[in-house]
Structure 1
Amino acid sequence: MALPSGNRELLKHFKVLKFLGKGSYGSVYKVKRISDERIYAVKETDVKSMSQTEREESVNEIRLLASASHPNIVSYNEAFLDGNRLCIVMEYAPNGDMSRIIKKQATARKPLDEMQIWKYFIQIARGINALHEMRVLHRDIKPGNIMVADGDVLKIGDLGIAKLLKSSMAKTQIGTPHYMPPEVWKSRPYAFPSDVWALGCILYEMATFNVPFEARSMSELRYKILRGRYSPVGRQYSADLIDMVRRLLDAVPENRPTLKQILSSETVKKMEAKIRMEANVPVSGDNQMLATIQVPRNLNLLKGKFPTPQYQAEEEAGKENAAPMNMGLPAIKEVVPQQPRAAARAPSAGRARSAAPEPPRDLRRAPSRGEREQAQRARAPVAAPPGAALQPRGASRNGAPPPAYGQPPSYAQYGGAQYGRRAGPQPPNSRGGQSQYEAQRMKVAPPARGAPAYPGAPAGVSRVGSRAGAKPSPYADYGRPAAYPPAYMQRQVGAGPGVQEV
C-alpha cells in the first residue's frame, strides 16, 4: 500500500516508515517522530467517507485509549485531524501481534510451550480485566488485536468498536465471527462474559493453532458456535489448561468466570509463581473515564477537543527539569542571614508612602479647570504689544532699558507683560482682572504733584498708591516712576498719571 505523501499535517511531525496493516476503520503505519526520533504507530482513518455513527466510534477509540493506563494496554500518545483523516498516535509493538506468533509456530509445526501459553494468557487476562474495571467492553478480542512488545509483553489494542457500558448489557451485533459468543449470534443482549468467551478462543488457538469453531459459511459457523462443540485440546497440555478452556467456552454466559475470578484462581496463582511473573498492576484511580467527545457534522470543529498529548520523552524531560539532579553530594542547608532588628521593623506610613510606586497615568486625579488653563497659558507664546519692534538681547519685553549694575529693576524692566499679560489698558472684564471688591475700593484721584514719596526721595519719585499720612508705598523702594502705576489698577481704571487708594 502506498505511504502517505503530499502536504500533510502528519508529515510535518512524523516520518512514515512502513505500512503495518488494516484495523477497524483505518490503516496503521510505522512512523518516526521528528522531535524525539522515537518509533510510534499511527492509525489513519478517512472520516469523510464514514457515516456519523462510524465517526463517533472512531473518536470513541481516542477517548478510551487516553483513559486507560495499564502495562497490558496499548498506550495513547496523540490524536489530531489531518484534513479529512483522523490520526491516532499510539505505542508501537515491534514484534507484531499474536496471530503472527501462532502462524509462525504452526508453520514450523512446533507447539507452544505450556508455560509460554500461560504467560501470554495471564497478560491478556490482565489487560481485559483493566478494561472491565473501567466498564469498557472490548467486543473484538482476537489474536490480531493483541500486540507483542519487547520482552514478550502483550498489549491489547484496537479499541475501535469497544463500548463503555452505561447499562448492564449491549445489543449491537458486532465483532469477528470466529470469536463471537453464542449470545451475540442469537442477537441477545450481552456484556463482559462475551470478552471472556473470546479469551477462551485465544487460549484454545494458542494450544491447537486452530480456532475452536471452523466452518465454510456463516450459517454453518453460527450452528457450530450455538451447539458449543469443539475438538479437544491435545493431551500434551496439563489438565489445568484444558479445564480453563472448558470453563471459558461455556455456552451459558452466566456460567463463565469473570476476569477477576480467573486472575485470583488457584491455577493462575500457581502458574504465576512458576513463571515468576511480576504481580498484576492494579487499576489505579488515575484511570478515570474522560468525558464523551461530541462529534459535530463539521469535522473542523473537532480541533482542540482531543485529549492532551502524552509522550513519555516529554514527561521524562519535565521530571528532570522539575527535580534537581542529585550528584551524591551531601545536601547543602540554605543559610538565611538574620536581619538586624532595626531593618526588620515595618516601615512607617510616611516611608511606605514615599516608597510606593507612582500610580499609572490612568489612576491619577484629573486636572481641574484652573490647572488646565494655567498649563495652557504657560505653553502659549506671549504676544508682543501692538507696534512693538524686536528688542536687542538684554532688553525687557516692553522696550525698557536693562537696569544698571547693582540697581534693582523697575516695574517696566520686569516686563509689564509677565504671566502673559500686556502692559497697558485692558478691558474691564478681561480674564485676570481685579475682583469687584477691589474695584469698589479704588477710585481715580489726582496725584499730588511735587510731593516727595518720603523724605530724601530722589527727583521723579512721588507718593503713589498710598493713603494720606500713611507710610510710603513699598513700590517707591524700587524707584518706580509715577507714570507706571500697578498693572492691576491699569486694567480696571485705565492708565492714569497716578492712582490713590482710598
Structure 2
Amino acid sequence: MPSPIPVTRLLPKDFYLSLDIGICSSPLSKHSHGSTLQVPAQRLHGATTTRLWSSVIHWKELRSEQPVGAGGFGSVYSAEYLGQTVALKKVKKCTKNKLASRQSFWAELNAAHLRHRNIVRVIAATTCVPEGFGDDSSIGTVLMEFVGRKNLEQIIYGCPEPLEPDRWLRYSVDIVHGLRFLHSHRVAHLDIKPANILVSDEDVCKIADFGCSLKLERGCEVSSISPHLSHIGGTYTHRAPELLRGEGVSLKADIFSFGITLWQMMTREPPYTGERQHVLYAVVAQDLRPSVHSHPVFGSELGGRCEALLSRCWSADDSQRPTAQELLPLMEQLTLSDMSQ
C-alpha cells in the first residue's frame, strides 16, 4: 500500500535517498522477508549509535497479546516478541475517514529513526499482516518498547497520593528534554497531553503516540497544512490557537500543549469546562486559558514563576513562546530553586 504522505516527510534526506518504495510491509522497504533498515550513525548525547529498526514483524515470534488501551486511530497491546515485552499498536481503518487513518499510521514513523530516553522507541513497523494474525480493520502495526501501563493522565487524576512539586517539575523536564530532541529533528508531535506521556517503572516520562505528528521541511519554520493531510488533529483542549484557526504548523504548537499539560500537573484539574465548541471559540477569539488565579499552588514563589512561564508557553502569538531549547534551562532552574527551598 503506497504511503499517502511522501517519504520525504517521514525521514531525513540522508536516509530516504537510498530507499525503494514498496507496496508491502512498509513504504520504506521493497522487500519484506526479514530485511532491516539501518539508521545512519548519529551523535546522541556524545555517543554514536547505529541502532536498527525493522521494516517487518516476524509474526511467529509474537506471543500473548493483552489489551492495554485504545485511541482514536488504534489499539495498543502488550506482547512477547523475540523474548522481550513490547507494545503492539494496531492502527485501525476509520470508516468515516480512511485517508486520515492511513496517514496516522505513516505519521507514527516520523520518529522511528530517533532514539532518546524520553521518547518511546519504535522496534518494527509493517502494513503486511499475514492471515491469522490480524483482521480487516487494521491497516498497519507498530511494535514499540513497552514502557508500562501507566500514563501521566492516570497519575494526575487517578492516584490518591499528592503530586508534589519536585515530581511534576521532574516530569516537566523529562517532557521538555523529549521535545527538544524531537524539534532538533524537525518533528512536531502535535498531540502533547498527559495521556500521551507514558511513565516508566523508573518514574521516567516518555513521549508516545505520534499519529498526529508532522515532519517539517528543513529550514522551514512554519509548514502550511495541506488539505490532503487530514490526520492532523490532536486534542482540542491542548491545541494551539493557530492550529484551531487552520493556520500553519510550527514546532511552537507543542510548546503551547506543554503549557496546558504543566498546568494540569500543578492543579490536577481539567483545563476547561463547558461545551467543546464554546471552548474552541473562546481559546481562539477570547484568549481563554486555564485559570491560575483560583488555585493556591500559584500563590507560592515557585507558583508565581511557573505562572509567568505558562503565560509565555500558551501565548496566542507563537513568536512569544520559548523554543524547547530555550524552555529546558528555564524548567531546570525552577527545579533547582524548588530543591533549595
Structure 1 length normalisation: TM-score? 0.48
RMSD: 2.5
Shift of 1:66: 2.0
| Equivalent in the alignment of 1:87 | 141
Q: How does 1:38-437 map to 2 (within 5 A)?
A: 38-47=84-93, 51-52=98-99, 54-62=101-109, 64-80=110-126, 81-83=128-130, 85=138, 86-105=140-159, 108=160, 111-166=162-217, 167=220, 168-171=222-225, 174-216=233-275, 218-226=276-284, 227-229=286-288, 230-232=290-292, 234-236=295-297, 237=300, 238=302, 239-265=304-330, 268-269=332-333, 271-272=335-336
Residues 178, 211 of structure 1: 8 Å contact kept:
no
Greater shift, 132-141 or 247-256, is seen at 247-256
- In structure 1, give the amino acid aligned to 2:173: I
| Equivalent in the alignment of 1:13 | 61
User: 1:40 and 1:275 mapped to 2: Cα distance?
Assistant: 36
| Equivalent in the alignment of 1:31 | 79
2:335 aligned counterpart, secondary structure? helix
Residues 178, 214 of structure 1: 8 Å contact kept:
no
| Equivalent in the alignment of 2:44 | none
1:158 aligned counterpart, secondary structure? coil
- The 3 A distance-change label for structure 1 pair 54 and 95 is closer
User: 1:211 and 1:46 mapped to 2: Cα distance?
Assistant: 28
Shift of 1:139: 0.8
Residues 193, 253 of structure 1: 8 Å contact kept:
yes
Shift of 1:52: 4.4
Shift of 1:262: 0.7
- The 3 A distance-change label for structure 1 pair 41 and 272 is farther
User: 1:100 and 1:144 mapped to 2: Cα distance?
Assistant: 8
Task: Extract unaligned runs of 5+ from structure 2.
Answer: 1-56, 131-135, 227-231
1:88 aligned counterpart, secondary structure? strand
User: 2:255 and 2:124 mapped to 1: Cα distance?
Assistant: 30
Residues 111, 207 of structure 1: 8 Å contact kept:
no
1:188 aligned counterpart, secondary structure? coil
- The 3 A distance-change label for structure 1 pair 103 and 53 is closer
- The 3 A distance-change label for structure 1 pair 272 and 88 is farther
User: What per-residue deviation string (whole Å, max 9, x for no partner) do you get for residues 164-222 of structure 1?
Assistant: 01242242662111111111222222311111110000001111122333322x22011
User: What per-residue deviation string (whole Å, max 9, x for no partner) do you get for residues 236-257 of structure 1?
Assistant: 3522222222221212211111
User: 1:273 and 1:235 mapped to 2: Cα distance?
Assistant: 19
User: 1:212 and 1:47 mapped to 2: Cα distance?
Assistant: 31
Flag the structure with larger Rg. Answer: 1
| Equivalent in the alignment of 1:385 | none
User: 1:210 and 1:134 mapped to 2: Cα distance?
Assistant: 33
User: 2:287 and 2:148 mapped to 1: Cα distance?
Assistant: 36
Identity level (%): 25
- The 3 A distance-change label for structure 1 pair 21 and 95 is closer
- In structure 1, give the amino acid aligned to 2:305: D
Greater shift, 197-206 or 39-48, is seen at 39-48
1:228 aligned counterpart, secondary structure? coil
| Bigger relative CO (Cα 8 Å, ≥ 6 apart) | 2
Shift of 1:11: 5.8
User: 2:88 and 2:254 mapped to 1: Cα distance?
Assistant: 26
Shift of 1:275: 6.0
Shift of 1:273: 7.9
- In structure 2, give the amino acid aligned to 1:257: P
Question: Alignment length, in residue pairs?
Answer: 260
User: 1:192 and 1:72 mapped to 2: Cα distance?
Assistant: 17
2:291 aligned counterpart, secondary structure? coil
1:82 aligned counterpart, secondary structure? coil
Structure 2 length normalisation: TM-score? 0.69
Residues 27, 44 of structure 1: 8 Å contact kept:
yes
Task: Extract unaligned runs of 5+ from structure 1.
Answer: 1-8, 277-502
- The 3 A distance-change label for structure 1 pair 57 and 45 is closer
- The 3 A distance-change label for structure 1 pair 193 and 138 is same
